[in-house]
């Protein structure tokens, strides 16, 4: 297939040559492209081929240097992605991210595996039309899943094979979790936190644990598997807490787990009890750059309150999935939160996404998840 051609300002040559995953709308000259059109962008001697989208800030997502991807190209990207997962995803785990968009050189599209099913997600109409069919064919061939579905605002669109059941049980590091691919958050589970949950498991022996913004109790189940004596999961969602209870039951921890339906901000104001280990994993606090300052204030308030709930010598495992908050800014928030809470802290571990969410060095914006473990000690020593 021959792509349409569009010539950009020559000044964009270095930017295009650096291999960006996309070009924003304000960089394009006047044109007559439609969503799903393949387009060859040229700036000076640099060129790249991508898919146009009529909506949104991103106008063209870039895939190849000079030719429109064919079936063999999509198969090669999927094979590369699977090789990485085979190296890093533990054998006793059958829920993980198979394709992480920009990080796997397939901008605008993610694919997650849940047992014998794959869930694909994209927000781009252009990607849906021009990229999805080739990727689905390659995934079907390489993984022979029972079914592949496209996750939409409401429900799932079948793309291959049979649709998944309403809920299925998957395994992460040998632990069992219910996944609702139809209505669950993200594509069902927060797969990006898998290795951070495993870190909490390592810390949890003998601990009483408070898991704030718990969703389906993931961090609690890992903590209990690591020998925690008790875990309390707090979340605003009734459905997520019902799954947390079922996850506790399936893993044999029902007696040691308690779900609390509450707004975390109110819960922290109303409760004085302290814990050996507090986990704090709030939802994204900023969708846009302009909301960054408000997000930093919310992180400060939450982390200070959470540190007040850690008994001296205990741990805070804290996360931020707001892309607009850099790892440095998050560290500054944690330092200020410790001052506010009147405790001394030691940063003993930092991480980001699990390795099935790879990043491209030339695209640091792809990083959104920060995870830190702090030891909290009495202040004023
Ligand atoms: C990033 S997810 C947590 C993921 C979870 N830690 C895991 O490992 O799977 C954030 C959770 O916060 C919950 N939530 C959002 N706002 C809340 C609030 N104000 N109070 C309590 N829960 C809230 C959502 O229902 C969601 O389950």
pLDDT tens for 299-352 read 999 999 999 999 999 999 999 999 999 999 999 999 999 999 999 999 999 999
Residue 177 has a pLDDT of 98
Whole-number Å distance, alpha carbon 328 to ligand 1 midpoint, is 23
> Is 280 found in the same domain as 361?
yes
Q: Is residue 55 part of a domain?
A: yes
Average pLDDT (104-133) is: 97
CA distances in angstroms from 246 to 112, 249, 261, listed in the order given: 22, 5, 15
Whether this prediction's pTM lies above 0.85 is answered by yes
The verdict on whether 321 is a catalytic residue reads yes
**pLDDT tier at 380, thresholds 50, 70, 90:** confident
When comparing pLDDT for 1 and 345, which is higher?
Answer: 345
* Final residue belonging to a domain, choices 15, 47, 64: 64
Whole-number Å distance, alpha carbon 215 to ligand 1 midpoint, is 5
SS3 label, residue 30: coil
Q: Is residue 367 part of a domain?
A: yes
Closest CA to 357 of 84, 64, 91: 84
* Number of domains, the chain: 3
Q: Is residue 42 part of a domain?
A: yes
Strand-strand pairing, 175-179 and 168-172: antiparallel
> Is 366 found in the same domain as 253?
yes
Q: Does any ligand 1 atom lie closer than 6 A to the CB of residue 217?
A: no
Q: What is the rounded average pLDDT for all residues in the chain? A: 96
Residue 255 has a pLDDT of 97
**Structure-block tokens of residue 196:** 């951070």
Residue 1 has a pLDDT of 80
Residue 153 has a pLDDT of 83
Whole-number Å distance, alpha carbon 193 to ligand 1 midpoint, is 13
Average pLDDT (201-223) is: 98
CA distance 146 to 148: 7
Question: Any idea which of 241-255, 279-293, 361-375 has the lowest mean pLDDT?
Answer: 279-293
Residue 286 has a pLDDT of 78
pLDDT above 90 coverage of the chain, percent: 93
Average pLDDT (81-102) is: 97
Q: Does any ligand 1 atom lie closer than 6 A to the CB of residue 264?
A: yes
Average pLDDT (229-257) is: 97
Boundaries of domain holding 141: 71-169
> Is 88 found in the same domain as 19?
no
Q: Is residue 181 part of a domain?
A: no
Burial group, residue 119, by CB count within 10 angstroms (0-12, 13-18, 19+) = buried
**pLDDT tier at 252, thresholds 50, 70, 90:** very high
Q: Is residue 179 part of a domain?
A: no
Strand-strand pairing, 58-64 and 46-52: antiparallel
What values do phi and psi take at 46, rounded to 5?
A: -85, 145
CA distance 120 to 136: 9
> Is 247 found in the same domain as 345?
yes
Q: Which of 81, 321, 338, 373 is catalytic?
A: 321
**Structure-block tokens of residue 227:** 């020998």
* Final residue belonging to a domain, choices 12, 45, 64: 64
**pLDDT tier at 218, thresholds 50, 70, 90:** very high
**pLDDT tier at 10, thresholds 50, 70, 90:** very high
What is the four-CA torsion angle of 137, 142, 146, 152, rounded to 10 degrees?
Answer: -50
What does R_g of the chain's alpha carbons equal in angstroms?
A: 22
**Structure-block tokens of residue 74:** 């999509």
Q: Is residue 176 part of a domain?
A: no
Residue 379 has a pLDDT of 86
- Which domain CATH number covers 277? 3.40.50.150
> Is 298 found in the same domain as 332?
yes
Average pLDDT (98-112) is: 97
- Which domain CATH number covers 42? 2.30.130.10
Contacts 24+ apart (CB under 8 A), 262-271: 262/234, 262/235, 262/236, 263/236, 264/212, 264/213, 264/234, 264/235, 264/236, 264/302, 265/301, 265/302, 267/212, 267/234, 268/212, 268/302, 268/305, 268/306, 268/309, 269/305, 271/309
Residue 288 has a pLDDT of 78
Q: Does any ligand 1 atom lie closer than 6 A to the CB of residue 283?
A: yes
Q: Is residue 182 part of a domain?
A: no
Q: Which residues of 334-364 are buried (b: 16+ CB within 10 A; e: fewer)?
A: beebbeebebbbeeeeeebbbbbbbbbeebe
Do 149 and 158 form a contact (C-beta atoms < 8 A)? yes
């Amino acid at each position: 297939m021959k792509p349409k051609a569009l010539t950009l300002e020559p000044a964009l040559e270095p930017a295009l040559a650096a291999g960006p995953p996309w070009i924003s709308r304000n960089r394009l000259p006047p044109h007559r492209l439609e969503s799903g059109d393949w387009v060859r962008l040229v700036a000076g001697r640099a060129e790249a081929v991508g898919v146009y989208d009529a909506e949104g800030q991103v106008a063209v997502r870039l895939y190849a240097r000079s030719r429109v991807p064919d079936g063999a190209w999509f198969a090669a990207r999927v094979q590369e992605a699977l090789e990485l997962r085979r190296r890093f995803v533990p054998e006793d785990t059958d829920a993980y991210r198979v394709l992480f968009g920009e990080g796997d050189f397939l901008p605008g599209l993610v694919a997650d595996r849940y047992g014998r099913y794959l869930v694909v997600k994209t927000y781009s109409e252009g990607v849906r039309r021009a990229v999805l069919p080739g990727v689905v064919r390659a995934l079907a061939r390489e993984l022979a899943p029972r079914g592949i579905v496209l996750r939409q605002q409401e429900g799932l669109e079948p793309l291959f094979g049979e649709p998944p059941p309403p809920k299925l049980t998957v395994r992460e590091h040998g632990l069992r979790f219910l996944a609702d691919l139809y209505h669950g958050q993200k594509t069902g589970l927060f797969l990006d936190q898998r290795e951070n949950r495993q870190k909490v498991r390592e810390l949890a022996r003998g601990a009483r644990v408070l898991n704030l913004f718990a969703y389906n109790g993931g961090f609690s189940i890992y903590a209990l598997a690591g020998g925690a004596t008790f875990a309390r999961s707090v979340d605003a969602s009734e459905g997520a807490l019902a799954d947390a209870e079922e996850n506790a039951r399936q893993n044999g921890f029902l007696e040691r787990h308690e779900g609390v339906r509450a707004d975390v901000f109110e819960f922290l104001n109303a409760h004085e009890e302290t814990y050996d280990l507090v986990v704090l994993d709030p939802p994204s606090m900023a969708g846009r750059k302009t909301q960054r300052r408000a997000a930093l204030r919310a992180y400060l308030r939450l982390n200070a309150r959470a540190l007040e709930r850690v008994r001296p010598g205990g741990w805070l495992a804290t996360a931020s999935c707001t892309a607009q908050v850099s790892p440095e800014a998050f560290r500054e928030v944690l330092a200020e939160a410790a001052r506010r809470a009147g405790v001394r802290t030691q940063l003993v571990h930092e991480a980001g996404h699990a390795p099935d969410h790879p990043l491209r060095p030339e695209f640091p914006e792809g990083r959104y998840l920060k995870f830190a473990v702090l030891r909290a000690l009495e202040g004023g020593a």
